Amino acid sequence: MNLQALTGTAQALVAPGKGLLAMDESTGTCNRRFAAAGIATTAEMRRAYRELLLTAPGLGACISGVILYDETIRQARADGTPFVKVAQDAGLIVGIKVDTGAQDLAGHPGEKVTEGLDGLRERLQAYAGMGARFAKWRGVIAVDGALLPTATCIEAHAHALARYAALCQEAGLVPVVEPEVLMDGGHTRQRCQEVTESVLRCVFEQLVRQGVALEATILKPNMVTAGLDCAVWDTAAEVAQATLQCLRRTVPAAVPGIAFLSGGQAGEVASHRLNEIHLGAAAPWPLSFSFARALQHPALDIWAGRDANRAAAQQALLHRARCNSAALKGQYGAAMEVP
Ligand code: 13P
């Protein structure tokens, strides 16, 4: 492992004013989103959509890197240029989702564990050979009152995330470690904070125990928010305060950056909360974004599978990227959303 090179990549991913575009939806997830938008669920439409995202003019001004999916990293622009080269030419660092998805955790109804460790060493080498410089693995943790998550579920995710991260660094890739406490359910912000703190403590314990270099690891956590069905709506200031308190209590200062997932928050809500986080007291790590839905949703709706809508869809993507970039400087406000 070349720790200096890996640390340099990690720092570049969270460069000032920049964040990650997660466009690594699995074929199943991408097809579900296409179907909801009335778009044909074919490999060619998935390719065309990913081309639209990657070729949005000037994307690199606000986006440091893109997370691709196995199908996508092997695809090319309509003129035959491989997507990896398209991304590199646009100044974007190429990343790759390497987990193979969530499966039911045996003996633990309602809980999931992430698969994909078998053969991971070889897959990481192959992706590095294709030009990937970082990877992503997501573990999802459900909250159900005081019942879930179980300690077993948290430990299983932490163990898998650390095994994945160690293999990434061995292969010369920066691991993006994503333990996601889900927003599904009626739990309060306080319960989300309690669970997120437990999860992050366990994840960092495993990362250290398995010899992962924290200096070359990016954390991709959820913001601390109430569940989607909670009767109480958190203000952005409350989310920012709880999120920063949670992270300060659990994330070592050696970590070079934290990039939040959006987790189903609407684009404007995510930008507003991100902005509020940056208005708080200085944190020991750069705090950035690694959004999929909160960056892509308006663009996907506008595109609707039609080439004629392509330029407008790209503008919608760029708008959300600019809003989130502004939020990283505490400069996002409602005025940015006025057309
Ligand atoms: P969302 O921002 O839509 O939560 O997606 C982030 C991601 O990469 C999920 O793994």
Amino acid identity for residue 19 in this structure: G
Q: Ligand 1 pocket, 33 CB below 6 A?
A: no
In this prediction, residues 11-20 reach a mean pLDDT of 98
pLDDT digits (tens, 9 = 90+) for 23-51: 999 999 999 999 999 999 999 999 999 99
Q: How far is the CA of 99 from the centre of ligand 1 (A)?
A: 13
pLDDT digits (tens, 9 = 90+) for 158-187: 999 999 999 999 999 999 999 999 999 999
pLDDT band at 84 (very low <50, low <70, confident <90, very high): very high
User: Domains of the chain by range and CATH?
Assistant: 3-334 (3.20.20.70)
Q: Ligand 1 pocket, 303 CB below 6 A?
A: no
pLDDT of residue 1: 77
Q: Ligand 1 pocket, 138 CB below 6 A?
A: yes
> What residues contact residue 30 under an 8 Å CB cut-off, 6+ apart?
41, 46, 49, 69
For ligand 1, atom 10, name the residue with the nearest CA: 138
User: How many C-beta neighbours within 10 Å does residue 106 have?
Assistant: 9
Q: Ligand 1 pocket, 294 CB below 6 A?
A: yes
pLDDT of residue 338: 84
Q: Ligand 1 pocket, 22 CB below 6 A?
A: yes
pLDDT of residue 50: 98
Half-sphere exposure of 160 (CA within 13 A, CB side): 28
Measured distance CA(298)–CA(319) in Å, rounded: 10
In this prediction, residues 126-135 reach a mean pLDDT of 98
Q: Ligand 1 pocket, 263 CB below 6 A?
A: yes
Active-site positions read 178, 220
Contact 67, 20 (CB under 8 A): yes
C-alpha angle 269/273/277, rounded to 5°?
170
pLDDT digits (tens, 9 = 90+) for 193-252: 999 999 999 999 999 999 999 999 999 999 999 999 999 999 999 999 999 999 999 999
In this prediction, residues 115-136 reach a mean pLDDT of 98
In this prediction, residues 104-120 reach a mean pLDDT of 98
Pocket test for ligand 1, best of 161, 260, 290 (most atoms within 8 A of CB): 290
pLDDT of residue 281: 76
Q: How far is the CA of 79 from the centre of ligand 1 (A)?
A: 29
pLDDT over 90 (residue 322) = yes
Pocket test for ligand 1, best of 184, 262, 265 (most atoms within 8 A of CB): 262
For ligand 1, atom 4, name the residue with the nearest CA: 263
Q: How far is the CA of 291 from the centre of ligand 1 (A)?
A: 5
pLDDT digits (tens, 9 = 90+) for 245-270: 999 999 999 999 999 999 999 999 99
pLDDT of residue 55: 98
Percent of the chain surpassing pLDDT 90? 98
pLDDT band at 140 (very low <50, low <70, confident <90, very high): very high
